[in-house]
Structure 1
């Protein structure tokens, strides 16, 4: 006899019990709370540590400042005493200096203006000016020449103003020579101008030369031109000078 077929009854799905879920949720909540408390405590500790370090740094800066202040207060009386001593004896550092040493502290220079001459000369002549330096013990003037009494480097310069005329063919030339008594004079500087005018009247032109030279004790320098009768001697345009570097 055949029995009727009955389908198998499905097995019910297993599910987590409510007690297990409660334990899991409780553990998670405790972990979150503990993590939060730990983070807060760490932040408080870090903040306290930084405050303590800042306090130590401030104390260190105050200590350094006090040390400097005490050192300055100790040095100030000595400085004031020294200043008072210098004020009382202003020439104590110079009382043993010789006239030569005093002269060396001052600029060594001579600046001269052209001396008018109606005749033709081989060496231009010069005169002192109101504002140019002329008085010192190292450079002297002798018959148109400047003589140095101390060896060294010197800057030598000269400017000569002259008349340029229509009939002039040869260039006007300026020479600065080193005078050597026992041999031929040595040329130091040279400048020339070939400008010519279209009229017969005098048209002023200027030539200027300058340079640095090593001079020996007793050396002499002077200025010469191709035609001294054409030199213009108006104030400030013809001059000759030298100064020690």
Structure 2
């Protein structure tokens, strides 16, 4: 009997030990699996981070130069805008010997920093510019009844563009464009109806090498009260070449 009890006790102890070992193995397996899963998640996260950074770097390497190129292109376009100004003229009795110029009436326009100040065009930068101007007049060609039939009566129209420049070394204006035009003439054989009214224009234009700060103005010595103010007949302008 005593031997049987000893065998049963040993068997019970072995069974309990085996159960504990199996339970420990199960807990160890769970912990190991959890560690492996966590390690795998870390590996996947690290790989995703590296891939994202790689794509971001490639994207930045592509986008930034394109953005810079676009900005430089836009700035070049802005800087390449040709300076130009076109003014229309009208008669102002308070201004002696000059048309009053304005940039507020169509088809007037300005761009590229060319400005109208004190009835003068101010040059923004050194360079070659085309300067042009035209004045138009309504001219009466009627003569006096006492005029000698053998003589011819003529009206001369004059128009000038004058330049002031710091490079001149003084405060004087120099004439750069000057035009004289004979508006009409009356002869003894002329038809009175044809001699009654003429429309005449004086146009001039040329290229000049101008300096920053130069000022351009016009001088019209006669016939200003007869100035034609309709669009396209009297104008003054400059544009860069």
TM-score, with normalisation over the residues of structure 2? Answer: 0.57
> What whole-Å deviation, never above 9, does each CA across 1:51-95 have from its counterpart, x for those lacking one?
xxxxxxxxxxxxxxxxxxxxxxxxxxxxxxxxxx68x98653143
Count the aligned residue pairs: 159
The match for 1:175 among 157, 160, 172 is 160
Cα offsets for 1:192-211 (capped at 9, x unmatched): 11132545744210111000
CA gap 1:170/1:119 in 2 versus in 1, 3 angstroms: farther
- Report SS of the residue matched to 2:225: helix
> Which residue is 1:122 aligned to?
97
For residues 113 and 91 of structure 1, the distance between their equivalents in structure 2, rounded to whole angstroms, comes to 42
1:158 corresponding residue in structure 2 = 133
Summarize the alignment of residues 1-245 of structure 1 with structure 2, pairs less than 5 Å apart: 91-95=67-71, 102-119=77-94, 121-128=96-103, 129-137=105-113, 139-166=114-141, 169-180=154-165, 182-196=170-184, 198=186, 201-227=196-222, 228-245=224-241
The Cα offsets for residues 28-57 of structure 1, whole Å up to 9 and x where unpaired, read as: xxxxxxxxxxxxxxxxxxxxxxxxxxxxxx
What's the offset of the Cα at 1:215? 0.5
Report the Cα offset of residue 180 of structure 1: 4.4
State TM-score, norm by structure 1.
0.56
SS in 2 for 1:107: coil
Classify 1:134/1:223 alpha carbon distance in 2 versus 1 (closer, same or farther; 3 Å).
same
Flag the 1:183–1:197 CA change in 2: closer, same or farther, 3 A: same
In structure 2, the gaps of 5 or more residues are: 1-61, 144-152, 187-191
Q: Structure 1 188/91 Cα, relative in aligned 2: closer, same or farther at 3 Å?
A: farther
Shift of 1:184: 2.2
Highest RCO, 1 vs 2 (Cα 8 Å, sep ≥ 6): 2
Alpha-carbon contact 2:102-2:108 (below 8 Å) kept: no
Structure with max Cα Rg: 1
* 1:232, distance to aligned residue in structure 2 (A): 1.1
Contact 1:119-1:229 within 8 A present in 2 as well: no
CA displacement at 1:146 relative to structure 2: 0.3
Superposed CA offset, 1:93-134 (max 9, x none)? 1435896x5542112111111133245523322122434431
Structure 1, unmatched stretches of 5+, are 1-84
Rounded Cα–Cα distance in structure 1 between residues aligned with 2:106 and 2:214: 26
**Structure ranking higher in strand proportion:** 2
